[in-house]
Structure 1
């Protein structure tokens, strides 16, 4: 049921975009049956009643359905953007106007506005933080120590954010439990691989209208996101090169049929470059120098530091926007490097992010992780916790049911065999 709007504070582009946003949120909901089922249960049980919740996420139609489910669960929820270019302004307007959910997010907001919104998120004095990259948690620890006692826990859904949480734990500054949503099977197997794979190529094509068939596509990183991008690029006819620092992943890429080489060599051959590593300066000045004239570079990792754009900009004699989300950097040697989406997440900067069907499982994990933290308040030591196996299985079962797919179950004899050591061959 749509809530009656109140004079909730917000910072969005245009409240008059709400009707358009409502249509798109409802369209996404058609492909999110698991979140819908959780919302129906939450509305009856109110597991988050009285909980102040801050979510730092990409403000998309899929996130909107998560936010609506969390409010149905009783949460006092506030939403900010986790990336300056990922906000869908009509979605933000609808959440404010129709659901009375405070939103602080504007597509294209500058860094100062983004950091101000992070402070606003913490002014909410959250008990639960849903983070995407751990910026809110990091700011809390560095600047808001007096609020630490309010925190029940946090959830994190990106590899970059988990890396930061691990570093916090190692340094002894993470004093509350964190749920590792990113590594849930129903998240990274599907969201990272199929979601990132499809949406990244979607963003590249929308920004450039380039034909990928016959092009040399270089994918930096062969984690689950890199696997998805490489797989989808090959499916569109690209000749794919993978660069890696991990020998095991490099072998896997080679056995999956991709060429594997250092970026220094790949830079000479690539037509399109996609970084999905979670690290910084994966593409650097020495790589720009040997790239083909007109080579296109973009990023599908969380932060905009994977491509060293500061160095590229300092070296360029001209920077010109040639299409939406497409900038041409002309170098002193006359060659041009084309940067897509300002080096930010190309799938959200130039497209609409992951398809709703895959985010259904990811956001079901987020919702259940919040419920788990509240149910176990005071029982979990500071640390990083995986989503319990039974919750992962529940999400998968709900998704299969919604897809009309049935699977086998073990017979009593099979169950005894697989749990016994006394029966051999």
Structure 2
């Protein structure tokens, strides 16, 4: 990032932080993709909270960004196991913020499994969670009872540009990976599993490139949406897998289980929009499959009479090329800062909440003044 771009970004976040000054300053734990532009957002979080630790998503860490953040804040390893075990989660929070008022800034529902136990057992006070993704939104929504407010920006209209551009970047990276092996998109019928914001973006770009696209989604409403946009909609997932030369998984919650892989067409490519642990049940794949690295980012799975290719180990394929969505990501990050202010107001009941429309309007107006030039 050029120095003038960095200065403009810091000025933008300073303006946002001033607009949403918290009632009181809490400690915070920040889960994030530590991408090249992310230190500016980390600095913004640190102006609004006492940033206790940064927990970078394991498959999306830029080395230079990590070094920059480590100069001012602890950077701790992130794993689902740490926050699945109650004792492990409590020990971690106590080691970093014992007795403090805390907010959790999440990407993917990492804190969800032990949230109630942490809320009840922590020596400090857990004010709430801010969640960034649809996958994480569902993880919190599925809890039997939320012990604190969860502010989700996953379904915000300010996230629509990011979701659209992420879908475009997934297609770009998938095609790049295939071309590295001498393969191309054309001539391969594609199956898009999941027709949410990401899946619909992926399907539209594939169609624009002349690829035959079929959609599968368990949601009947989304199936009607796909049909209205001119896509074939699979009635039977097994049959759809058999006919697809490219499968793009965009559900956030296990698109393919172990038994599904055997239905893939020989030579089919599989790529995902999120981590393999969320999108693919690779552990359930029959042990008769052998794995061979056949390219920088392609693994061949083979057994007698059957083989398929997996891009980027099943993790988000677009992260191979930086996963950049340009300045549009700063809309969502600003909304996360607005959500922090909401948690400090101390008047939100337990449950799922969203940032009010007037705050989103203010964020959009500020963003336009800095980036629509």
Indicate the TM-score class for this superposition, using the shorter chain for normalisation. Answer: 0.7 to 0.9
Q: Which residue is equivalent to 2:172? A: 202
1:95 aligns with 2:65: no
Partner of residue 59 from structure 1, selected from 4, 22, 34 = 34
Q: How does 1:290-329 map to 2 (within 5 A)?
A: 290-301=263-274, 304-312=277-285, 314-316=287-289, 318-329=290-301
How far did residue 206 of structure 1 move? Answer: 4.1
Q: Which residue is equivalent to 1:16? A: none
How far did residue 181 of structure 1 move? Answer: 1.0
1:276 aligns with 2:244: no
Cα 1:177–1:231 shift into 2, 3 Å = same
Partner of residue 250 from structure 1, selected from 220, 223, 226 = 223
Q: Which residue is equivalent to 1:186? A: 158
Cα 1:311–1:164 shift into 2, 3 Å = closer
**Equivalent residues of 1:156, 1:181 under 8 A apart:** yes
| Aligned-residue RMSD, C-alpha | 3.0
1:223 aligns with 2:193: no
Q: Distance in 2 between matches of 1:254 and 1:44?
A: 43
Q: Distance in 2 between matches of 1:200 and 1:153?
A: 32
Cα 1:287–1:303 shift into 2, 3 Å = closer
Cα 1:176–1:113 shift into 2, 3 Å = closer
Q: Distance in 1 between matches of 2:260 and 2:19?
A: 56
Q: Which has the larger radius of gyration?
A: 1
Partner of residue 124 from structure 1, selected from 75, 96, 117 = 96
**Equivalent residues of 2:20, 2:341 under 8 A apart:** no
Count residues with an aligned counterpart.
363
Cα 1:62–1:147 shift into 2, 3 Å = farther
1:380 aligns with 2:318: no
Partner of residue 395 from structure 1, selected from 360, 363, 372 = 363
Q: Which residue is equivalent to 2:302? A: 330
- TM-score in terms of structure 1 length: 0.76
How far did residue 74 of structure 1 move? Answer: 5.0
Q: Distance in 2 between matches of 1:63 and 1:260?
A: 38
**Equivalent residues of 2:37, 2:65 under 8 A apart:** no
Q: Which residue is equivalent to 1:145? A: 120
Q: Distance in 1 between matches of 2:328 and 2:16?
A: 21
How far did residue 45 of structure 1 move? Answer: 8.4
How far did residue 182 of structure 1 move? Answer: 0.7
How far did residue 127 of structure 1 move? Answer: 0.8
Q: Which residue is equivalent to 2:129? A: 154
Q: Distance in 1 between matches of 2:148 and 2:102?
A: 11
Q: Distance in 1 between matches of 2:354 and 2:43?
A: 24
Q: Distance in 2 between matches of 1:122 and 1:201?
A: 42
Over residues 263-315 of structure 1, what are the superposed CA-to-partner deviations in whole Å (9 max), with x where a residue is unaligned? 212112211111111222x3245543332221111221455243231233513
Q: Distance in 1 between matches of 2:322 and 2:198?
A: 17
**Equivalent residues of 1:191, 1:354 under 8 A apart:** no
How far did residue 392 of structure 1 move? Answer: 1.3
Q: Distance in 2 between matches of 1:298 and 1:136?
A: 26
Cα 1:94–1:142 shift into 2, 3 Å = same
Cα 1:196–1:332 shift into 2, 3 Å = same
Cα 1:313–1:364 shift into 2, 3 Å = farther
Q: More strand by proportion, 1 or 2?
A: 2
- TM-score in terms of structure 2 length: 0.86
1:240 aligns with 2:221: no
| Structure 1 unmatched ranges of 5 or more | 1-22, 406-425
Determine helix, strand or coil for the equivalent of 1:179.
strand
Partner of residue 43 from structure 2, selected from 68, 76, 90 = 68
| Structure 2 unmatched ranges of 5 or more | none
Cα 1:123–1:341 shift into 2, 3 Å = farther
**Equivalent residues of 2:36, 2:64 under 8 A apart:** no
**Equivalent residues of 1:177, 1:380 under 8 A apart:** yes
Determine helix, strand or coil for the equivalent of 1:53.
strand
Cα 1:111–1:127 shift into 2, 3 Å = closer
